[in-house]
Structure 1
């Protein structure tokens, strides 16, 4: 079985096994609202027990895709399969899915326990089974002592966990999360992300989350689908999305990156070294085969944290080197961002980890600096 690029949370990569059948399949799905096409002929496979993220800007079609899986919308064209069964015409309440909304939609007049029990009571489950499941869910989300409280007596994070428990109580095969952490502050959101991962792993369910938060998607996901204008731009693991984006759009959308247009000049000393003549005079060498004819328009890209910033020039200044002036510095605690102005008027971003507690930086505003990086650090983008 092929291995994914970068670290993985566990030995779990069914998408690399040709014999593995998808748990959820969007097959040539198109969704139109009048003249507007929200999803365009999209095919996507999601596997059992996967924590899968749909990531993209507002209006890219990610929520529409989730709502079609939940049964709130029907595809204009194509099919949606769950465990090989076509979901066409199956109403939401008969699908083995449950959705947790951004607003949480808790009943304000009900206690935490009653909120969790509501869906089970609607299904007419025996009272003893309902009580057992509510107790199980309260323990799972660590809210046993809050069972008799009402939503207005809880913090935002606690309400989020009540909504999660209610969604899980009916034991769906797929849990759909629509921007579930958007209302939480940054610190609580980060803590809750890890709680979600632990719960998903403990229950062994398939989670599908819609988010526009890149860090959230990178943290929780086994794989991410980056979307734009109703189309899939790339589907891959977080490490692959970040370290090996397949296009300018994905490279620019995920994280921080410097992108310079240029032309492929040919291979270097070895077939794995590609030379790029970039706008502004930068000569870039990338440890990646281009697969295009010399003269082809390409782009060179590099993440700020891959760049070394120094007041002294590197030993070799023939390639992968820029010289400029520090225009701005952003101190973010664990690292600093340097905005370096180049002679042609462009700017480059470089990041440097703050490994010591020194407040005074050796490099400051107005300093002349050199930016350099190894061939393995850069990216060559052909589309």
Structure 2
């Protein structure tokens, strides 16, 4: 079978944004390397013996809650902070002792930090003038940047005459005008409303592709990281919990922390009673038995947690006919209608809540559920992921 045909029929763990994946190539050299980096502020360890590789032209996201160390990591790469121990390398060069203004990186802040008294084109040209570029080349570069972010007709306006999304694009144009090797973005879309943020996410992705730069973005917004990035590093307490593609993070979390941090999830505790290959029978702590075909990490007798996403759980009035499905009866406890989908919280007899989400692909529902209805929730054996930690 040819590699083309073989690749076409191979199953992917979730959707993929693009085929770009240098981290799968054993011969590929990382572009940015954090090597056993630790950063301590007084008695607080912000980054704890962290190692990470990022590749050239990658759109990489550092994701985590406030205080997890993601912004500190970004600031060390920019040169605004220095590691207490460890090394940071960019394109093979150790960045130790190199001041921020001499590093081939540029940083875009959440506040955008535009000069209010300058026009759009003057803001974009500022860094180029500081570098001593001649006037003709500055004019050419500024025009290229304005065309790139589609703001040519706003060149003479001041920042206060622009919308939030337009100001964001000016800040972006100014950041890439100097053509850095790496663009660092610290919560770049945090000041935008939801609709504009969603639109700008795709603009950033397209721009990164056009420029061919390496983007490293810090965010606490899971949806933002999942939408834009090639890979995500989920951080907690100065350490990396998992590095993977968005689909792998969502469909195959490495731990309960990652599963719970990314999206909504049902975590069902139990003990492995029987194991054969990847198939495992689990006696749950809630009085029912489960079967999973994703039980590879667990051993017989071990306590595990079965992670099941709400969209993989079905809700029905009657017990499913397919005997292979895991089926549990409960009571509809909460309902949230979101337009495109409806969320149901089903309360089991021991009080455990299982969440399911149903896509509203029809305007009418034949037998709608309402509060306190008895209902069956079920999911296929391959829908859950077994976690041992």
TM-score (structure 2 length as normaliser): 0.95
Of 313, 316, 321, the residue aligned with 2:319 is 313
Equivalent residue number for residue 16 of structure 1: 24
> Structure 2: 5+ residue runs without aligned partners?
none
* 1:379 CA displacement: 1.1
Equivalent residue number for residue 156 of structure 1: 164
Query: Do residues 7 (structure 1) and 15 (structure 2) align?
Result: yes
Map 1:69-108 → 2, pairs under 5 A: 69-108=77-116
Query: Do residues 261 (structure 1) and 274 (structure 2) align?
Result: no
1:290 match: secondary structure: coil
Task: Measure, in 2, the Cα distance between the counterparts of 1:281 and 1:114.
Answer: 68
* 1:40 CA displacement: 0.5
**RMSD between aligned residues:** 1.6
Of 334, 337, 357, the residue aligned with 2:343 is 337
* 1:7 CA displacement: 2.4
Deviations 1:306-339 (A, max 9, x none): 0110001112568611111111111111111001
Map 1:49-128 → 2, pairs under 5 A: 49-128=57-136
Task: Measure, in 2, the Cα distance between the counterparts of 1:311 and 1:293.
Answer: 35
Task: Measure, in 2, the Cα distance between the counterparts of 1:45 and 1:304.
Answer: 32
Task: Measure, in 1, the Cα distance between the counterparts of 2:324 and 2:285.
Answer: 16
Asked whether the 8 Å contact 1:325–1:366 carries over to 2, the reply is: yes
1:130 match: secondary structure: helix
Aligned residues between the structures: 381
Equivalent residue number for residue 379 of structure 1: 385
* 1:289 CA displacement: 3.5
Query: Do residues 198 (structure 1) and 206 (structure 2) align?
Result: yes
Which stretch shifts more, 7-16 or 105-114? 7-16
Task: Measure, in 1, the Cα distance between the counterparts of 2:13 and 2:92.
Answer: 29
Equivalent residue number for residue 148 of structure 2: 140
TM-score (structure 1 length as normaliser): 0.97
Asked whether the 8 Å contact 2:255–2:388 carries over to 1, the reply is: yes
Of 347, 358, 361, the residue aligned with 1:352 is 358
Asked whether the 8 Å contact 1:134–1:169 carries over to 2, the reply is: yes
Of 266, 274, 285, the residue aligned with 1:279 is 285
Task: Measure, in 1, the Cα distance between the counterparts of 2:325 and 2:188.
Answer: 46
> Structure 1: 5+ residue runs without aligned partners?
none
Asked whether the 8 Å contact 1:283–1:319 carries over to 2, the reply is: no
Task: Measure, in 1, the Cα distance between the counterparts of 2:366 and 2:334.
Answer: 15
2:240 match: secondary structure: strand
Task: Measure, in 2, the Cα distance between the counterparts of 1:80 and 1:105.
Answer: 27
Asked whether the 8 Å contact 1:24–1:47 carries over to 2, the reply is: yes
Of 132, 139, 143, the residue aligned with 1:131 is 139
Alpha carbons of structure 1 residues 42 and 173: separation in structure 2 relative to 1, 3 Å:
same
Runs of 4+ in structure 1 off by over 6 angstroms are: 1-4
Equivalent residue number for residue 231 of structure 1: 239
